Amino acid sequence: MKYLFALLISIQAVAQDFSANTIPARLKENAYAVVRNHETEFYVKGIDEAVTKTKGTITILDEKGSSHAQLMLWYSKFSKVNNIEAYIYDESGKQIRKLKKADIESFSTSTGQNEIDGSFVKVAELSHNKYPYTISYSYQYTNTNMMFYPNWRAILDNSDNVSVEKASFRVSLPKGMTFRYKEQNMPVKVVINQEDDRSVYSWNVNNIEAIEKESDSPHEDNFMPMVYTGPKDFKVEGYSGHLEQWSDIGKFYAELNTNRDKLPTEFAAKVRELVKDEKDIRAKVRKVYEYMQANTRYVSIQLGIGGWQSMKASEVATKGYGDCKALTNFTKSMLKEIGITSYATLVRAGNNNPALFEDFPSFQFNHVILCVPTPKDTIWLECTNQNIPFGYLGGFTDDRNVVVVTENGGKLARTPAYKIDDNLLLRKGTINIQANGDATALINTQYSGLQQDVYADVINTLGAEDQKKWLYKNLALSGAEIISFSLNEKKQQIPVVEENLNLLLRNLANRSGSRLFVAPNILSQQRNVSKPSAKRKNDLWLEFWYQDIDSISFKIPSGYVAEFLPEPVTIETRFGKYKASMQAKGDIVTYTRDLTMFKGQYPASVYNEWVDFRKKIAKADKNQMVLIAKP
């Protein structure tokens, strides 16, 4: 410990200029805040304890940077925070306030609804009413959950529009203790030194200019400068683990959950009775899964090692609730009772979370699902959603690497990807245009796969009145009135939501003398096109494959004919393809539109091609037909 305290003494001995006027001009460009200095030391005492000390200074340049004028320090049974100090300085560097103990508030992070959480947060507001101003702060953590080593971000919290004068990360371990790390996009490499009986790894960065947020970018963890770290050997709450390969992750998770799959005798008999008439494996799995959905509810449980150790299956059977681990383990236990093998699967869930680092085995997960291999295929089950269809994962956990916890430890696998034919929007409608420009419309839309996810949530979480409010908000039609509507869910392998709308559309057509001007794409118009960028830095990330097909028939008002219909439009690019056309037959004009988009990550150099594609779509979507009164 003497080297840790020696380091801190040396840091404190260096006088720092807190004046905002000394910040280099180039670090102010595109910046809302400037990190003047940020120092983190992770001091490992052994496989079961570490101390993290942080000291930082940041200048808040304007109101947009004010979110950085707040300390939020999370703590729990395994992580104690203390020695919190902070000061505020004006533009010239004069101290104007010191943080008092009474200024620090502590809160539970539990929402109280479907959540049992043993975590807390200390919050300190450090704002000032005149910009720019500077904050300096320091605090210390004592950590006893050594499954996790810190991931260091060279730019504070990977924030956009924040520049860095100086930042450092230092990891100190007892000599002979193995330390694993992965550098990503770092402008410098690690420096390794030996200091008596300790090994020290350090990174120092200087003068990093602010990075502006760019639309349609991958998750910031994919391109920001970071250092990922992890242990080789660790201990937490009496459990010892070894971590070098993905198999080790599975072995440790399995150890944590040993003998937690026993069901009460009477309940086990009920499970066997449940499937006694089913011969097909898939049918048996479905029966068990839908029983679990109907008889349990999700409650997030994050108490102690409970963040990784499941409730016992017997407790879930009795209490009727559990978190993702518990409900997965409960389902796994029921399947085991009827002779079907399944595996808990660790996943980094979220619609735009960074991908798992395949070359750096570590606890990169926030969710657990169930994998059920069968002779014909593999069934994937999301056990925390009481409404999701059997065998469907949705955008929360689809198309990503996961770790399946098998009898031989963890094994990398990949969840299903939902492709274009799965993610469809099929819309048909009839619109009757009146001579005054108003119209009535009957619209039927079928959303499938990932396109139906949000609609399924609306059906299962909102009542009829709130559904109607949600539809109004998302229709984006200023003159629309919903006369009636329905939303119906079809729970199948690729689920579908059917939407039926009966609308009154005021001023759908713009009158000009004897003519009516109508833009037929009333529901699928491309909006909010990004601006081109000659300085694009990040790759372009398109999140999922999908296809939208619209076919809308317009009945021309009596006494009018179609004077002008736009030429058909066809656009094909590496990102997707688009077709739109209008055809007149008698008093009916039919508008068809077909947009297909490809998922993928594309180099920044083609970003302006993407913008041009979107502009062309937006232009075509605004095309109008012209109706004229018969002479």
Confidence of residue 111 (pLDDT cuts 50, 70, 90): low
- Please report the pLDDT score of residue 303 as a whole number: 53
- Please report the pLDDT score of residue 221 as a whole number: 87
Q: Say if residue 7's pLDDT is above 60.
A: no
Average pLDDT score over residue span 107-124: 71
Q: Say if residue 153's pLDDT is above 60.
A: yes
Confidence of residue 106 (pLDDT cuts 50, 70, 90): confident
Q: Say if residue 188's pLDDT is above 50.
A: yes
For residue 77 the two structure tokens come to: 């049974």
- CA–CA gap between residue 367 and residue 598 (Å, rounded): 27
For residue 610 the two structure tokens come to: 């993407």
Q: Say if residue 427's pLDDT is above 90.
A: yes
Confidence of residue 136 (pLDDT cuts 50, 70, 90): very high
Grouping H, G, I as helix, E, B as strand and the rest as coil, residue 114 is coil
Average pLDDT score over residue span 162-171: 98
- What pLDDT, in 10s, does the model give residues 211-227? 998 999 998 888 899 99
- Tell me the pTM: 0.90
List Cα–Cα distances, 408 to 246, 247, 337, 357, 385, in angstroms.
11, 7, 21, 21, 29
Per-position DSSP letters for 138-194, written without gaps between them: EEEEEE--TT-PPPEESSGGG-TTEEEEEEEEEEEEETT--EEEEEES-SS--EEEE
Average pLDDT score over residue span 224-248: 94
Burial (Cβ within 10 Å: 0-12, 13-18, ≥19) of residue 392:
buried
Q: Say if residue 295's pLDDT is above 80.
A: yes
Q: Say if residue 4's pLDDT is above 50.
A: no
Q: Say if residue 114's pLDDT is above 60.
A: no
Average pLDDT score over residue span 604-610: 96
Q: Which of 113, 121, 135 lies closest to 56, judged by CA?
A: 135
- Please report the pLDDT score of residue 72 as a whole number: 92
**How many CB atoms are closer than 10 A to CB 15?**
6
- What pLDDT, in 10s, does the model give residues 489-510? 999 999 999 999 999 999 999 9
- Percent of the chain whose pLDDT exceeds 70: 95
| H or E stretch covering 397 | none
Comparison of pLDDT for 304 and 402, the residue scoring more: 402
